[in-house]
Amino acid sequence: MLKTLFEGRWLRIESRPGARAAAIGCAVLVNWLIRTIGSAAGANFVVLDRGETTYVTYGVLAIFTTAIGLVGWAILAVLERVTRFGRAIWTAGAIGLLALSGVPIVFAHAALTTKLFLSIINTATAVVIVPVMRRTALRRTKRSRRVDNSVPASTTVISSARQDNPGQ
């Protein structure tokens, strides 16, 4: 039986991919909720960039949140296989990316309320996704050695014994 990774009142997740996918889905829902609250608070979610107008709609939020979550998942999966410090490296990168994501918002041509709620959306995405990715990351204490299992161990012992005693 699999170890339960998440268990709540209505939901029980026992697989690593299931927990990560649920975190991405929850991040999308949280961002939609924040956008709804922002619209009610007067944010228009319109950003001007080089003369072009960009509307931050619910669809744009869903696409970008899902894309960021999937890219983060893929990077964590690669780091888990390449290094035993994958979880720590990924976490540092995620926190650094969160800090850097605020820079374009500061310099964007948008209303102050829009900037505020876009910053909240970025932070909420990280707050939802990062802990779940960290909790579900593989933990390796030692680098695993590759073992050739093609020849049984008893055969190796017998052949080495024959080499020591050539007369037998």
pTM listed for this prediction: 0.74
Residue 148 φ then ψ, to 5°: -85, 105
Band of the pLDDT at 138, cuts 50, 70, 90?
confident
pLDDT in tens, 70-96: 999 999 999 989 988 999 999 999 999
Q: Considering the domain boundaries, does residue 6 fall inside one? A: no
For 119, residues 6+ apart whose C-beta sits below 8 A from its C-beta are: 102, 105
Q: Considering the domain boundaries, does residue 148 fall inside one? A: no
**What pLDDT score does 153 carry?**
47
Domain that holds residue 27: 13-143
Q: Considering the domain boundaries, does residue 76 fall inside one? A: yes
Count: domains in the chain: 1
Band of the pLDDT at 8, cuts 50, 70, 90?
low
Give me the amino acid identity at 22.
A
Q: Considering the domain boundaries, does residue 153 fall inside one? A: no
Q: Considering the domain boundaries, does residue 156 fall inside one? A: no
Q: Considering the domain boundaries, does residue 150 fall inside one? A: no
pLDDT in tens, 97-117: 999 999 999 998 999 999 999
Q: Considering the domain boundaries, does residue 45 fall inside one? A: yes
Residue % of the chain over a pLDDT of 70: 74
**What pLDDT score does 143 carry?**
53
Residue pair 128/23 in contact (Cβ under 8 Å)? The answer is yes
**What pLDDT score does 126 carry?**
94
Q: Considering the domain boundaries, does residue 8 fall inside one? A: no
**Distance between CA atoms of residues 47 and 56, nearest Å:** 8
135-144 burial string, b = 16+ CB within 10 Å, else e? ebbeeeeeee
